[in-house]
Chain A
Amino acid sequence: MRKFVIVLKYELKEYFSNKAFMGLTVLLALLGVGMLFLPRFVDMSGFTGVKIVGGEDSSEKETPEGEKPLFLYADHAGVVQEDVLAQLFPDAVWQKAEPDAVKASVEAQEAEAGFVVTGKTEYEYYVFNKPMHDNNMLLFQEAMRQFYRMDYCRQNGWNLEEVAAMYDVPITVEEEVLNKDSGSNYWYCYVLIIIVFMLIVYYGQMIAVSVTSEKSNRAIEVLVTSTSPNSLLFGKVIAGAVAGVFQMGVLLGALLIAYQMNREQWGGMLDMFLHIPGSVVAAFAFFGLGGYLFYGFLYGAMGALVSKTEDISKSASGLMVVVMVVYFFSLVQLNDIDGVAIKVLSFLPVSSYSTMFARIGMGTVAAWEVAVSFLILVLSTIGAGVLGAKLYRMGTLRYGNPIKLTNALKDLKQSE
């Protein structure tokens, strides 16, 4: 245990004295915090729907009269109401014209757009160069519908305001979710699965590189004769876990605090990502960490099977495929959170790290299921650690071509 602590401290020092690691952590946190503070300084009301207090709201800023584009219309049906057009197209100047003049003016680029109403429900649209996001047609169609309704009500002696009020009667609802709201929990489960996947892949690779480097710089023989391979591998993997938790903790902590400070400015629109219930955070912490350690040990063992860091991708490719499949499957299964597939996956140590906490966040899961799944994950992680240490020990002095996992396991069986 003492030697494990010595290895752990030494490896942690490696992470925390690494300028790139610390720099990246601080940089990412500052970047995230900076983005969350943006609505305080920049008008993002178009995105957030919240105006800066005392600031200028660009969404309501009117284009000066002289700069407004000219739109022409011709009305064969006698239904066009200019006040409706002005309301729907506040940044345009409307002029009535003869049908032939509409097209000619647009062609001569004297007018930006032209509309010829040929019937109560028909019109022609003229534009010189159609921009990629042109919503003039949509808006004019809405105008045409309004003209039609107004005309119909006038002809039948109906009051348009009364009819409109009857159609748009406001409904009041009081919702109380008694257990979980899968709809709103979906996004943070989604984000947390991505985070734990990134942690496993990023730190798993770092652990494998760290092990292989000790082989390639030949320090390994001195190390394995100075302490047990268990201390070495467990120290390395757990140091990686601590570093990962630290980096993620700093980043998430900074984001959560910055969001709480700016929640009002964001109009609560990031709640789905950054307003996570405690139970889900706890499940993420336990299962995420368990899964991370499980894969960390296996990545360490894969690192011991090669002699050069450039060969890690070969030895760890199988593991990477498993991680990727679990990742995609977990995300897909979020849409069927109480299905049989995700239930099975939530008990397997290769996938419970993401699927069980997703079930806790979104689905129906009994306490015993959580306990059993976590127990399986813990036991499997210990098993992966012991197996990883054995493979690490066996691969220690085997240089040259990468050792295949199947051969390594065979040799391990023989040596025992």
Chain B
Amino acid sequence: MILEVKNIRKSFGDKEVLHGVSFQVESGKALGLLGRNGAGKTTTIRILMDVFHANSGEILLDGRQFQPRKHQIGYLPEERGLYPKRTVIDQMVYLATLRGMKPGEARVSAKKWLERLEVAEYETKKLETLSKGNQQKVQLAATLVNNPDMVILDEPFSGLDPVNSQILKDVVNELINDKRLVIFSSHQMSYVEEFCDNIAIINQGQVVLDGQLKDIKKEYSRNRLMLAAENHTLEELARKVEGEWQGLARVSGRKKEFLVLELSEGADKRAFLERLAKSDVDVEKFGRYEPSLNDIFVAKVGEEE
């Protein structure tokens, strides 16, 4: 399956909040939908789920108009909530049958997912009696109860402790390996890096960066080096780069243990390395710098601001 979101525009009243959002995702791969608060991620997801109608643009699944109710979709909304006064199993079976499962099948599937997410013991308890983390896991189980082909998770890790996060990570990995189409929205970049082959960064209602994560990282690592020394502090090294080595590179960032340098135009790694070898610097760390997704996000969104 290939899901294509093409040039989606959405206005609330006179204010346009999405200005032509486009991206693409396919089965067996996960797309990380990233953006600051209020960037338009949830609105995009709600349009995908037909909660909101777009003013223009189209969503295609395998080239045909996408109609969410005709497909098995597991949707975990940002605004979580189920029925607090009903039992866990009752509401899971209810949601599964609403999405087209037969009651018997739904019960078996609900038990399976509760077991998988390690909350089977709460099956007959009212939701309100569970801890927040366990309620979150029940919500995820309810998302997956109909064994969806497409899974849309809006901030799935919020409210989970590290142990529960690991369970969820394993489940998401299983979904991806099982060739499901996964769209994943999160502020926690480490999770996105872990699961997603593709990303789309939305800022102020438009996609400012999208594509394969490895290509984006490669692009952002071009002409970037990392450098640390045994006999110089990072400040001393930075002064050296900006002074003695001016014209070869400039300091583009500072991490806890090394400097991030960007080669100047016309300069190459070999020339920089020769200069470094001739200097008094006792190299501790040197190599190509590969930015984290967080760095890319901050750099891109900051640039756009």
Residues of A in contact with B (beta carbons under 8 Å apart): 3, 6-7, 10, 13-14, 214, 217-228, 396-397, 415
CA distance in complex: A14, B235 (Å): 67
Residue pair A3, B98 in contact (C-beta under 8 Å): yes
B134 to chain A: closest CB distance in Å? 16
Q: Which residue on A lies nearest to B49, using beta carbons?
A: A225
CA distance in complex: A319, B28 (Å): 52
Residue pair B80, A6 in contact (C-beta under 8 Å): no
CA distance in complex: A221, B52 (Å): 11
A211 to chain B: closest CB distance in Å? 13
B277 within 8 A of A: no
* Among B52, B83, B95, contact of A226 (Cβ-Cβ < 8 Å): B95
Which of B74-125 touch A at CB < 8 Å?
Answer: 75, 77, 79-84, 86, 90, 94-95, 97-99
B45 to chain A: closest CB distance in Å? 10
Whether A219 touches B46, Cβ cut-off 8 Å, given contacts A225-B51, A225-B75, is no
CA distance in complex: A220, B49 (Å): 13
A412 to chain B: closest CB distance in Å? 12
B255 within 8 A of A: no
Residue pair A218, B98 in contact (C-beta under 8 Å): no
* Among A218, A223, A228, contact of B69 (Cβ-Cβ < 8 Å): A228
List, in ascending order, chain A residues with CB within 8 A of B51's CB: 221, 224-225, 396-397
Residue pair B94, A222 in contact (C-beta under 8 Å): no
Whether A6 touches B97, Cβ cut-off 8 Å, given contacts A228-B69, A396-B51, A397-B51, is yes
Residue pair B98, A7 in contact (C-beta under 8 Å): yes
B232 within 8 A of A: no
Q: Which residue on B lies nearest to A414, using beta carbons?
A: B13
CA distance in complex: A304, B75 (Å): 22
Q: Which residue on A lies nearest to B127, using beta carbons?
A: A217
* Among A10, A222, A225, A397, contact of B82 (Cβ-Cβ < 8 Å): A222
* Among B53, B79, B90, contact of A221 (Cβ-Cβ < 8 Å): B79
Q: Which residue on A lies nearest to B143, using beta carbons?
A: A222
B77 to chain A: closest CB distance in Å? 4
11 interchain pairs, CB-CB under 8 A: A214-B83, A217-B82, A217-B83, A218-B79, A218-B81, A219-B82, A224-B51, A225-B49, A225-B50, A397-B46, A397-B79
Which 9 residue pairs spanning A and B have beta carbons closest together?
Answer: A218-B81, A221-B77, A226-B98, A218-B79, A219-B81, A227-B98, A217-B81, A225-B49, A10-B94
Whether A217 touches B84, Cβ cut-off 8 Å, given contacts A6-B98, A225-B50, A227-B98, is yes
CA distance in complex: A10, B94 (Å): 7
Query: Digit string of B60-84 for contact with A (CB within 8 Å is 1, else 0)?
Result: 0000000011000101010111111
Query: Digit string of B194-237 for contact with A (CB within 8 Å is 1, else 0)?
Result: 00000000000000000000000000000000000000000000
Supplied contacts A217-B84, A222-B82, 16 more A-B pairs, CB within 8 Å: A3-B98, A6-B94, A6-B97, A10-B94, A13-B90, A217-B81, A219-B82, A221-B77, A222-B75, A222-B77, A222-B81, A225-B51, A225-B73, A225-B75, A226-B95, A397-B51
Which of B28-49 touch A at CB < 8 Å?
Answer: 46, 49
B71 to chain A: closest CB distance in Å? 11
CA distance in complex: A396, B80 (Å): 14
CA distance in complex: A96, B90 (Å): 85
List, in ascending order, chain A residues with CB within 8 A of B75's CB: 222, 225
How many chain B residues touch A (CB < 8 A): the figure is 25
B249 within 8 A of A: no
CA distance in complex: A386, B98 (Å): 20
List, in ascending order, chain A residues with CB within 8 A of B49's CB: 225
CA distance in complex: A220, B83 (Å): 10
List, in ascending order, chain A residues with CB within 8 A of B53's CB: 415
A341 to chain B: closest CB distance in Å? 43
CA distance in complex: A7, B46 (Å): 23
B37 to chain A: closest CB distance in Å? 16
Query: Digit string of B252-292 for contact with A (CB within 8 Å is 1, else 0)?
Result: 00000000000000000000000000000000000000000
B5 within 8 A of A: no
List, in ascending order, chain B residues with CB within 8 A of A217's CB: 81-84
CA distance in complex: A221, B68 (Å): 14
CA distance in complex: A14, B99 (Å): 20
A17 to chain B: closest CB distance in Å? 9
A308 to chain B: closest CB distance in Å? 14
B142 within 8 A of A: yes
List, in ascending order, chain A residues with CB within 8 A of B90's CB: 13
Q: Which residue on A lies nearest to B84, using beta carbons?
A: A217
List, in ascending order, chain B residues with CB within 8 A of A223's CB: 98
List, in ascending order, chain A residues with CB within 8 A of B95's CB: 222, 226
A12 to chain B: closest CB distance in Å? 12
A309 to chain B: closest CB distance in Å? 13
Residue pair B80, A225 in contact (C-beta under 8 Å): no
A187 to chain B: closest CB distance in Å? 41
List, in ascending order, chain B residues with CB within 8 A of A10's CB: 94
User: Which one of A7, A10, A13, A219 has the highest number of Cβ atoms from chain B below 10 Å of its Cβ?
Assistant: A219
Q: Which residue on B lies nearest to A224, using beta carbons?
A: B51
List, in ascending order, chain B residues with CB within 8 A of A220's CB: 81
B66 to chain A: closest CB distance in Å? 13
User: Which one of B77, B84, B90 has the highest number of Cβ atoms from chain A below 10 Å of its Cβ?
Assistant: B77
List, in ascending order, chain B residues with CB within 8 A of A214's CB: 83
CA distance in complex: A273, B140 (Å): 55
Whether A218 touches B94, Cβ cut-off 8 Å, given contacts A226-B99, A396-B51, A415-B53, is no
